[in-house]
């Protein structure tokens, strides 16, 4: 007998927290995969498209309303991805800015991607796809706006890129490239001095907070062994 097919939406919500890229997940209390960590989401409503559904699920189930960017990752449809039911998942990437600290339910927590706990079903694959999509789009779009606060210093922005990309990036080269692409602009203000004093750092902001392609063929490459590239050259 043919099993009815269910359709769910899932969100790999990423944020730079404590200097590293983290994902939001909740701990399942029931079988299958009880005790494992799952991405937030749920079944698609009869009157919803998939993006409307995933935004509703995030707001209702984990009270997450500070997502600055949502985009579809793909469809996961392996017949055995969920035991005892035929369930197709449309997965999304969601991004939360680094200065947000959304309240989440007791069974929900942020987890560093470098140290994921045991995950339910195929959710680790979805998280890896979300990480790879973010890294790719940081190269050729202005998607950094979705990770950053409204205003930031160049060194703080560099730290966000390093955490997301997983390799060193030169602050000077990052500023040069993003300014050339007309992605960044100075606010005219400076950051408060730090404990060590010194010259106050200038504050910048993204010129737009909606996604656009800035250089379709650019790649933020990891550093190589010698010369200027040891500082993490950005093309």
Number of domains, the chain = 2
10-38 pLDDT, tens per residue?
A: 999 999 999 999 999 999 999 999 999 99
Mean of pLDDT values over 196-206? 87
| CATH code at position 24 | 3.90.79.10
> Domain check: are 103 and 199 in the same one?
no
CA 151 – CA 167 distance, rounded (Å): 23
CA angle 217, 219, 223 (to 5 degrees): 150
Return the higher-pLDDT residue of 58 and 22.
22
- Would you say residue 230 has pLDDT above 50? no
101-147 pLDDT, tens per residue?
A: 988 889 999 999 999 999 999 999 999 999 999 999 999 999 999 99
Q: At 159, is the pLDDT very low, low, confident or very high (cuts 50, 70, 90)?
A: very high
> Domain check: are 20 and 49 in the same one?
yes
Do 10 and 90 touch, CB atoms closer than 8 A? yes
- Would you say residue 228 has pLDDT above 90? no
- Which token pair is 19? 């200097």
Domain that holds residue 170: 141-231
> Domain check: are 17 and 119 in the same one?
yes
> In the prediction, which pLDDT does 158 show?
97
- CA nearest 131: which of 161, 179, 93, 96? 93
């Amino acid at each position: 007998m043919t099993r009815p097919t269910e359709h769910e939406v899932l969100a790999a919500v990423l944020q730079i927290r404590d200097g590293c890229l983290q994902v939001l997940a909740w701990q399942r209390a029931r079988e299958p995969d009880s005790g494992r960590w799952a991405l937030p989401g749920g079944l698609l409503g009869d009157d919803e498209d998939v993006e409307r559904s995933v935004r509703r699920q995030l707001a209702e189930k984990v009270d997450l309303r500070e997502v600055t960017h949502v985009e579809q990752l793909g469809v996961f449809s392996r017949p055995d991805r969920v035991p005892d039911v035929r369930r197709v998942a449309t997965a999304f990437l969601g991004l939360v800015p680094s200065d947000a600290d959304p309240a989440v339910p007791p069974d929900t927590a942020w987890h560093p991607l470098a140290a994921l706990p045991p995950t339910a079903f195929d959710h680790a694959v979805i998280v890896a796809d979300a990480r790879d999509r973010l890294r790719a789009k940081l190269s050729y779009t202005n998607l950094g706006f979705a990770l950053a606060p409204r205003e930031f210093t160049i060194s703080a922005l560099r730290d966000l890129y390093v955490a997301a990309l997983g390799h060193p990036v030169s602050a000077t080269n990052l500023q040069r490239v993003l300014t050339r692409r007309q992605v960044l602009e100075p606010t005219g203000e400076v950051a408060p001095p730090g404990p060590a004093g010194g010259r106050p750092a200038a504050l910048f902001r993204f010129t737009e907070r909606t996604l656009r392609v800035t250089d379709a063929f650019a790649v933020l490459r990891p550093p190589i062994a010698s010369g200027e590239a040891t500082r993490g050259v950005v093309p």
